[in-house]
Amino acid sequence: MATGLVEIDSATWQTVLQRDRLHDGEFVYVALTTGIYCRPSCPARHPHRRNAVLVKSVAEAERLGYAACRRCHPDCLAPAERSIRAALVYIEGRLGHTITLDALSQVSGLSPNHLHQTFQRMVGLSPKGFCDARRLARFKERLRVGESISNACYGVGYGSSRALYEKASKNLGMTPATYQRGGDGIRIRYATMGSALGRVLLASTKEGICAVLLGEDDKTLISRLRAEFPVAILTRARIAPRPWTASIESCQPEDPLLAKLPFEFRVWVFQAKVWRNLAGRNG
Domains of the chain: 5-68 (3.40.10.10), 129-278 (3.30.160.70)
Q: Please give the Cα distance from 187 to 231 (Å, whole number).
A: 10
pTM: 0.85
Separation CA 48–CA 56 (nearest Å): 19
- Catalytic residue numbers read 38, 42, 69, 72
State residue 207's pLDDT score. Answer: 87
**Predicted local distance difference test score (pLDDT) of residue 2:** 58
Q: Which of 109, 68, 72 is nearest to 87 (CA)?
A: 109
pLDDT at position 283: 41
What residues of the chain score a pLDDT lower than 50?
282-283
- Which residue type does 62 have? E
Element (H, E) at 171: helix 169-172
- For 198-214, the pLDDT digits (tens) are 999 999 999 889 999 99
> Residue 279 and residue 283: Cα distance in Å, rounded?
9
Q: Is 242 left (phi over 0), alpha (psi -120 to 50) or beta?
A: alpha
- Give dist(CA 174, CA 229) in Å, integer: 11
Report the pLDDT value the prediction gives residue 261, as an integer from 0 to 100.
93
Question: Using N-to-C axis directions, what is the helix angle for 79-93 and 263-278, rounded to 10°?
Answer: 80
